[in-house]
A and B are shown apart, each in its own frame.
Chain A
Amino acid sequence: MFTVLRCVIYRDLLLASRRWADVLTALVFFVIVVSLFPLGVGPEPNLLRTIAPGVIWVAALLASMLSLTRMFAADYADGTLEQMLLSAAPLGAIVAAKIVAHWLVTGLLVVLIAPVLALQFDLHQPLLGTLTLSLLLGTPVLSMIGAIGAALTLGLRGGGALLSLLVLPLYVPVLIIGAGSVDMVAAGLGAEAHFLLLAALLVVAAAFAPWAVAAALRISAE
């Protein structure tokens, strides 16, 4: 089973490296959206510091959603998805591997680049560290919830718009807790409670999302 998992992750990363324009689109989108705010709001440091966590988190949500439609669509179109459904390995495990690959090419890049962008908002340590850590815990949850939406809307016409309507409301708790953690540190309080909540969301999503996606894929592929 682990050979299959490794194979799926390797394959998805290889595909992403051959289609690097897609990966870059989501990342550049994130950079541009975040950079537009200081330009639009003006150079008032206190205001920028206040809106920074929210802006960066919302941009991360949108960037992660941008690549969701492609998560299963290509495999569905060329028949690879059928082979995954007929695999001897559990479908949930294959799905988990695909989610990991999706996070590596979108979420992880966002986490890495976010501290640099946060400098535009005059964020300093320890806020930078808190922001990065909250994104590190939160973005995998986004990939997992997004995968459920992507699987449910697979093969539908206009699935992209439906996907956003379906997934964005579910992103709300992650957004509130993630952006809230930075505000807590800014207010001089600890962010441990927020991190624990994010970690709890991560664990629950990791336990259930792959199976939910697997069930949705079986329905979509019929």
Chain B
Amino acid sequence: MRGRRRLFGGLNFALRGGDLLRVTGANGSGKTSLLRILCGLLSPVCGRVRWHGGDIRWMREEYWRQLLYIGHAHAVKEELTALENLVVSCTLVGVNVSREQALEALSRLGLAGYEALPVKILSRGQQRRVALARLFLSEKIPLWILDEPFDALDAGAMDYVRLLIAQHLARGGAVVLTTHQEIRIENPQVQCINLDSRVT
């Protein structure tokens, strides 16, 4: 429910380790709102989100420690360099990374040579890569919630992010993502929610 408009209702799903949930729908159908509800940033008008049986509203920090959220706004500071951005954003959510790990993550995402440049002068796709470099450092976080992760990426980077997601699923992690593109991830346990057909 956003303002007076009912976005979706009657949703019911469960994710287990190794599951991928793909949320689709037209622009404005409530994909981002659903993800923000799953994170606990937005409270649903009715219904609840549970993690390991506990309501996330009461778990708060305990839940957030096990959650990685990369939103549509990618939380990258234009004045800071790519390396500083990555270290700060990891530390902020409680993942401690060394300089070397951060450098490796950036080079994996094709940003080798750009680490010390202010993000302001990078292209939009490269800025997105800086944000997504956190995925490489978040192996231990079980639940990934990604809002349009493939937005503005080129084919090579998309392949690599897809690989990271597949590896995370193989490790037993769960991923929720929204995307407009068709993605092929080798995984038997894909669930799909189409929000267009959910207005009741």
**B117 CB-CB contact with A under 8 Å:** no
**A221 CB-CB contact with B under 8 Å:** yes
Inter-chain contact A86/B69, CB cutoff 8 Å: yes
Inter-chain contact B75/A80, CB cutoff 8 Å: yes
Could you write out 23 A-B pairs with CB less than 8 Å apart?
A7-B88, A11-B77, A11-B80, A11-B84, A11-B88, A14-B84, A18-B118, A78-B76, A80-B75, A80-B92, A82-B69, A82-B71, A83-B92, A87-B64, A87-B92, A87-B93, A87-B94, A88-B64, A88-B94, A89-B92, A221-B41, A222-B41, A222-B43
**B40 CB-CB contact with A under 8 Å:** yes
**Contacts A19-B79, A78-B76 known; A86 to B41 CB distance under 8 Å?**
yes
**B112 CB-CB contact with A under 8 Å:** no
Inter-chain contact A88/B77, CB cutoff 8 Å: no
**Contacts A7-B92, A87-B64 known; A80 to B77 CB distance under 8 Å?**
yes
Instruction: Kindly identify, within residues 19 to 65 of chain B, every residue whose CB is under 8 Å from any CB belonging to chain A.
Output: 39-43, 61, 64-65
Inter-chain contact A15/B65, CB cutoff 8 Å: no
Inter-chain contact A86/B64, CB cutoff 8 Å: yes
Interface residues on A, range: 20 to 34
Find chain B residues with CB under 8 A from A11 CB.
Answer: 77, 80, 84, 88
Q: Name the one of A18, A78, A84, A89 contacting B73, with C-beta atoms under 8 angstroms.
A: A78
**A191 CB-CB contact with B under 8 Å:** no
**B189 CB-CB contact with A under 8 Å:** no
**A79 CB-CB contact with B under 8 Å:** yes
Find chain B residues with CB under 8 A from A89 CB.
Answer: 61, 92, 94
Give the nearest-CB partner of A74 in chain B: B77
**Contacts A14-B84, A88-B61 known; A83 to B75 CB distance under 8 Å?**
yes
Q: Mark each residue of chain B from 104 to 128: 1 if its CB lies under 8 Å from any CB of chain A, else 0.
A: 0000000000000010000000000
**Contacts A79-B71, A82-B73 known; A3 to B96 CB distance under 8 Å?**
yes
**B198 CB-CB contact with A under 8 Å:** no
A15 to B118, CA, bound (A): 11
